[in-house]
Amino acid sequence: MARIPTYDLNDGTTIPAIGFGTYPLRGDDGTEAIRTAIEAGYRLVDTAVNYENEREVGEAIRRSGVPRDELVVASKIPGRHHAYDDAIASVRESLDRLRLERTDLHLIHWPNPSQGRFVEAWRALVQLQKDGLVRSIGVSNFTEEHLERIIDDTGVTPAVNQVELHPRFPQDHMRAVHARLGIRTEAWSPMGKRRAPLEEDAVRAAADAHGVSPGQVILRWHVQLGSLPIPKSADPARQAQNLDVFGFELTDDEMAAVSGLAEDDGRLFGGDPDTHEEM
Ligand SMILES: NC(=O)C1=CN([C@@H]2O[C@H](COP(=O)(O)OP(=O)(O)OC[C@H]3O[C@@H](n4cnc5c(N)ncnc54)[C@H](OP(=O)(O)O)[C@@H]3O)[C@@H](O)[C@H]2O)C=CC1
Ligand SMILES: O=C(O)C(=O)[C@@H](O)[C@H](O)C(=O)CO
C-alpha cells in the first residue's frame, strides 16, 4: 500500500495529504464503504454531526482493524450547537457515537454569522483541546474576517479551514489568507461533485498524458496547490484510484489549464459563508 505524505499542522501534529469524505454514507452500506476506504489506505476520515453517520464511522474503524493511533478522525460542530455549553456537549456526544476517547480534528461546520456565536464555539474547542478530548482544532467555511475574529479573541489560530475548493472554484483568496495565517487548506467537494469537470479538455488531456483518470488529475491538482482534498466515493475501485495521486506530477501548463476552469462564481450551491447558514 502506497504511503500517503503528510502535512505539518500549526499545533505540532501532522495530517495526511488526502482524506476520505463520508457524506452521505450511512447504514450498513455506508459502514462498508468507509471500511473499504480505510482498507484501501485512507488514514483521515471526515464526518460531522449533521452527516448522521458518526456511528458508522466508528464501526468502520473498529472493523478495519487499523490501529486507532494510525487514523485521523475528524468531526464537526453544527450551527445549532454554537453556544459554549452546547459546543462542549456536542463534542462529547460525537465521541459517544464514534465510541472514541477523542477526535483528532474537530471543526466548526459553518460560521452562521447571523447567529453571532461562532466565537463561543471556538472558545469551547480551545478548552476541549486543553482537556484532551480533541487533538487538533479547526473550522470550516470561515472567511478571512471570521478567522481574524476567533484568532483575535482567543490567540489560537485554527489548524485547518475546510472550504469549498475544486477546479471551478479554486479559492485563490482564501488559500493566500491561509498561507499568511499558517492554516492548512482542506478542500470539500474536491472533485466538484455533480459538476466535476471530468470531461473538460484540460483534465482529459492531462489524464491521457499521464495515463491516469480524470479524477486523479483533479486530485493531483489539489496536491500541487497544497490543498488537502477529501473525496467521497462509495466505490472501492474509485476509492483506491483517488488515493493513487502521488506517483505523477502535472506540468505548470497542465496546472494552469485546470485552474483555467475557474468560473466567476463557481460555487456548487451558493454556499457563500457570509449568507449560507446551516444549523
Ligand atoms: N464542510 C462542509 O461544509 C462540507 C464538507 N463536505 C465533505 O467533503 C466530502 C467530499 O465532498 P462531496 O460533496 O462528496 O464531493 P466530491 O467532490 O468528493 O464528489 C463526490 C462524487 O464524485 C464521485 N467520484 C468520486 N471519485 C471519482 C472518480 N475518481 N471519478 C469519477 N467520479 C468520482 C462520487 O461518486 P461515487 O461515490 O459513485 O464514486 C460522488 O458522486 C464530503 O463527503 C464531506 O465529507 C462536503 C460538502 C460541504
Ligand atoms: O456536507 C456538508 O458538510 C454540508 O455542509 C452540506 O452543505 C452539504 O454539502 C449539502 O447537503 C449541500 O447540499
Residue 3's pLDDT is 83
Catalytic pick from 7, 23, 51, 84? Answer: 51
pLDDT tens digits, residue range 199-224? 999 999 999 999 999 999 999 999 99
Starting from the CA of residue 46, give the closest ligand. 1
Cα–Cα distance, 102 to 230 (Å, whole number): 21
Distance from Cα 247 to the centre of ligand 2, integer Å: 31
What residue numbers bound the domain in which 85 lies?
6-195+227-233
Where does residue 106 rank: exposed (0-12), middle (13-18), buried (19+ CB within 10 A)? buried
Q: Is the CB of 64 under 6 A from ligand 1?
A: no
Residue ID of nearest Cα to ligand 1 atom 35: 233
Taking only the tens place, the pLDDT of each residue in 264-275 is: 999 999 999 999
| Residue 277 placed within a domain | no
23 pocket-lining for ligand 2 (C-beta < 6 Å): yes
Asked if residue 32 is part of any domain, the answer here is: yes
Q: What percent of the chain has pLDDT over 70?
A: 99
Say whether pTM exceeds 0.95.
yes
Task: Kindly tell me the sign of the dihedral angle through the C-alpha atoms of 267, 198, 238, 252.
Answer: negative
Does residue 96 lie within any of the structural domains?
Answer: yes
Asked whether residue 272 is assigned to any structural domain, the reply reads: no
Is the predicted pLDDT of residue 4 greater than 80, yes or no? yes
CA of 24 to the centre of ligand 1 (A): 9
- The CATH number assigned to the domain holding 31 equals 3.20.20.100
Task: Please check the confidence at residue 14 and state whether its pLDDT lies above 80.
Answer: yes
Q: Quick check: is 23 catalytic?
A: no
- Note the pLDDT tens digit of each residue in 87-108: 999 999 999 999 999 999 999 9
pLDDT in tens, 38-48: 999 999 999 99
Residue 250 lies in a domain: no
pLDDT tops 80 at residue 37: yes
The helix, strand and coil proportions of the chain, stated in percent and rounded to the nearest 5, come to 45, 15, 40
Structural domain includes residue 275: no
Q: How far is the centre of ligand 2, averaged over its atoms, from the C-alpha of 189 (Å)?
A: 9
Query: How many domains does the chain divide into?
Result: 1
DSSP letter assigned to residue 2: P
